[in-house]
Structure 1
Amino acid sequence: MDDEEIKRPKTHEVGMAIDTMSVEELTERIGLLEAEIVRLREAIEARGATRKAAEAAFKF
């Protein structure tokens, strides 16, 4: 099996084995997770804004 045939996953799963990952791979995972945190925070903010708009629309 060539090194090119071994494909590392492009995503990270919480709890997945990290023992065999290089420093570069771990750094890449951190970048992926930080980007995901930003995306999740933006989704939370968007939902909060939608909720506030709905509450304002239904206030009498």
Structure 2
Amino acid sequence: MFDDDAVKKPRGHEVGMLIDTMSVEELEERIGLLKAEIARLEQAIAARNKTRSEAESLFKL
């Protein structure tokens, strides 16, 4: 009779999602997930910048 999918919480965090019903522990977990994602994105930026810098150095005379 009840839909279990309607009760399940989202696995990830979406920007702008409702947080009013989350516990402190859930909020802290979300912060941890977001910090890990920020670190991953920063690593991707650093890798792309390194690749670009290496490519530019090959074409300089």
Structure 2 unaligned segments of length 5 or more: list them. none
Deviations 1:12-54 (A, max 9, x none): 1111100011111101100000000100110110011000000
In 1, Cα distance between the equivalents of 2:8 and 2:34?
Answer: 19
Overall identity of the aligned pairs, in %? 65
Aligned length: 57
Unaligned runs of 5+ in 1: none
In the TM superposition, residue 56 of structure 1 has moved relative to its aligned partner by 0.6
Q: TM-score, normalised by structure 2?
A: 0.85
Match of 1:10 in 2: 11
Counterpart-to-counterpart distance in 2, 1:13 and 1:7? 15
Alpha-carbon distance in structure 2 between the residues aligned to 1:53 and 1:24:
44
Q: TM-score, normalised by structure 1?
A: 0.86
TM superposition outliers: structure 1 runs of 4+ over 3 Å: none
The root-mean-square deviation of aligned C-alpha atoms, in Å, is 1.0
